[in-house]
Amino acid sequence: MSLVFRRGISSMASLKKASKVVCIGRNYADHITELNSARPKQPFFFLKPPSTILLPGAGPVICPKGIDLHYEVELALIIGKQVKDLEAEDTEGAFDAIESYAMSIDMTARNAQNESKKKGLPWSIAKGFDTFLPVSNIIPKSAIPDPHNVELYLTVNNEHRQADSTDLMLFQIPRMLSDISKVMTLEKGDIVITGTPKGVGPVVPGDIMRAGIKVDGKEIEEGKIEVE
Amino acid sequence: MSLVFRRGISSMASLKKASKVVCIGRNYADHITELNSARPKQPFFFLKPPSTILLPGAGPVICPKGIDLHYEVELALIIGKQVKDLEAEDTEGAFDAIESYAMSIDMTARNAQNESKKKGLPWSIAKGFDTFLPVSNIIPKSAIPDPHNVELYLTVNNEHRQADSTDLMLFQIPRMLSDISKVMTLEKGDIVITGTPKGVGPVVPGDIMRAGIKVDGKEIEEGKIEVE
Ligand SMILES: [Mg+2]
Ligand SMILES: [Mg+2]
Ligand SMILES: [Mg+2]
């Protein structure tokens, strides 16, 4: 047990060395509806700085003053090699590029994001505060035979908030990696978070978020997040 | 000479390992006017992925299909240590945090950016294509006694396009580093680009951009950029 734990920690630390964290927006129809957003004709994405990454056990999410803090549970892909100009049809290439998975919570300063949207300003501040990306331990690739058929969930103080299958994604992983890699080359160690299902909402200091992933109804231990 | 050159190259390669590139928007009044933008009440910023960095001599800027490509010459700060929650009044702390400088061109897909602004979407794609951040060699800190009193310039095919003093910045460096570091911790090696003066405009494949920096009217050799 102790060995596994140490291995986990050491791989996790490497996550913070990601050269970028790319985040897919609006990738689940019911989440688009709940935020009154427009449905994208193609995947769009934004960046979170690696300084947002909060490793397991590294303390609480810090809520900045005056911020309406929202959770968004998301499946994260950890990229295993350089990817450039991948074709959307290249499903094998896309899956080859994935080294492993993790669960993540894309914490969002919702009021700041709404203001940015209104003013046509970047989202980087709303998405980019320190601790705004709690992650789980690394999930071995073999534990997720089909990333488009797993259940993501998130609870706040043990109340169910998000629970949906990744089969609801509007754009699947090969299309995401294709669109991203035609703009910015993905490097080994980069992280791609794949969008959140419906049920996002606010948390306040003291709330306990738990998130995770189920494959065939079975929880994956490495995918559990518990964070204040 | 050869030794200096090799040293230059080796420090440059480390630039690509920046954990983030933070970019100040709308920091010169006349540039705000030329883009019909609103004047910000406080500094705002966005991220370019490190994959945008184009080292000296590493080839041309790639213009993606259908993109209206604009140049923006900017003074870049290379951060020398971790900076978190810096106070805006802490001028000494801000200058201590700067390890060196570089010149940079914040290449922008202007049509994509305009569409993102209109739709309230992130700027990451418009600012984030590979090669969208040509940089100069590293400028030693001692070569720039006062970063708020230097001349930046950019020419396209030897025609003057941008030439202004950094004394026109709306928000100076301590305020920028303060605002950024209260959102996201800056790490050693991170790059902050400080906004562009007026005169931005389009370039097409084959155009030659030259940019640089003058201190007391004298060109700094390390600050020269020449890129197609
Ligand atoms: Mg952005
Ligand atoms: Mg999200
Ligand atoms: Mg700029």
The complex scores an ipTM of 0.93
From ligand 2's centre to the CA of A72, what distance in Å? 6
Q: What's the mean pLDDT in A129-144?
A: 97
Q: What pLDDT, on the 0 to 100 scale, is given for residue A126?
A: 97
A101, A138 in Cβ contact below 8 A? yes
Q: What pLDDT, on the 0 to 100 scale, is given for residue A22?
A: 98
Tell me the nearest-neighbour CA distance from A148 into chain B, angstroms: 25
What does the alpha-carbon distance between residue A175 and residue A53 come to, in Å, rounded to a whole number? Answer: 25
B114 Cβ contact list (under 8 Å, min separation 6): none
What does the alpha-carbon distance between residue A171 and residue A32 come to, in Å, rounded to a whole number? Answer: 13
Helices (H), B35-182: 91-97, 110-119, 124-128, 173-181
pLDDT digits (tens, 9 = 90+) for A92-122: 999 999 999 999 999 999 999 999 999 999 9
DSSP, res A37? P
B118: which chain A residues are within 8 Å (Cβ-Cβ)?
120
pLDDT digits (tens, 9 = 90+) for B105-163: 999 999 999 999 999 999 999 999 999 999 999 999 999 999 999 999 999 999 999 99
B117: which chain A residues are within 8 Å (Cβ-Cβ)?
120-121
What does the alpha-carbon distance between residue A24 and residue A127 come to, in Å, rounded to a whole number? Answer: 12
pLDDT digits (tens, 9 = 90+) for B154-212: 999 999 999 999 999 999 999 999 999 999 999 999 999 999 999 999 999 999 999 99
Q: What's the mean pLDDT in B205-226?
A: 97
Helix, strand, coil % in chain A, rounded to nearest 5: 30, 30, 40
Q: Does B49 touch chain A (CB under 8 A)?
A: yes
Split at pLDDT 50, 70, 90, the class of B12 is confident
Q: Is the predicted pLDDT of residue A157 greater than 90, yes or no? A: yes
Split at pLDDT 50, 70, 90, the class of B10 is low
From ligand 1's centre to the CA of B19, what distance in Å? 16
Q: What percentage of chain A has pLDDT greater than the value 90?
A: 90
Q: What percentage of chain A has pLDDT greater than the value 70?
A: 95
> What is the amino acid identity at position B136?
S
Q: Does A125 touch chain B (CB under 8 A)?
A: yes
Residues B47, A121: C-beta atoms closer than 8 Å: no
- Which CATH number is A198's domain given? 3.90.850.10
For residue B122, give the nearest of A20, A46, A130 by CB distance.
A46
DSSP, res B150? -
Split at pLDDT 50, 70, 90, the class of B9 is low
What does the alpha-carbon distance between residue A35 and residue A32 come to, in Å, rounded to a whole number? Answer: 5
Split at pLDDT 50, 70, 90, the class of A14 is confident
> Nearest CA to B48 among B123, B154, B100, B139?
B123
What is the 3 state secondary structure string of A44-62? EEEEECHHHEECCCCCCCC
A64: which chain B residues are within 8 Å (Cβ-Cβ)?
183
What does the alpha-carbon distance between residue A95 and residue B98 come to, in Å, rounded to a whole number? Answer: 41
A61, A107 in Cβ contact below 8 A? yes
B156, B174 in Cβ contact below 8 A? no
Split at pLDDT 50, 70, 90, the class of A10 is low
A26, A44 in Cβ contact below 8 A? yes
What does the alpha-carbon distance between residue A91 and residue B134 come to, in Å, rounded to a whole number? Answer: 33
A196, A28 in Cβ contact below 8 A? yes
Helices (H), A76-225: 91-97, 110-119, 124-128, 173-181
Pick among A16, A124, A133, A180 to test the B interface (most B CBs inside 10 A): A124
A115: which chain B residues are within 8 Å (Cβ-Cβ)?
none
Q: How far does Cα B70 stand from its chain's mean position?
A: 13
Residues A20, B49: C-beta atoms closer than 8 Å: yes
Q: State both tokens at A220.
A: 């994956």
Residue scoring higher pLDDT (B13 or A6): B13
Residues A45, B121: C-beta atoms closer than 8 Å: no
Number of domains in chain B: 1
Closest chain A residue to B21, measured at CA = A49
Tokens 């397991």, residue located? A56
Tell me the nearest-neighbour CA distance from B15 into chain A, angstroms: 12
Owning domain of residue A35 = 2-227
What does the alpha-carbon distance between residue B180 and residue B174 come to, in Å, rounded to a whole number? Answer: 10
DSSP, res A89? T
Q: What pLDDT, on the 0 to 100 scale, is given for residue B69?
A: 98
DSSP, res B10? H
Closest chain B residue to A121, measured at CA = B117
Q: What's the mean pLDDT in A123-143?
A: 97
Tokens 């295993």, residue located? A80
Pick among B27, B39, B51, B113 to test the A interface (most A CBs inside 10 A): B51
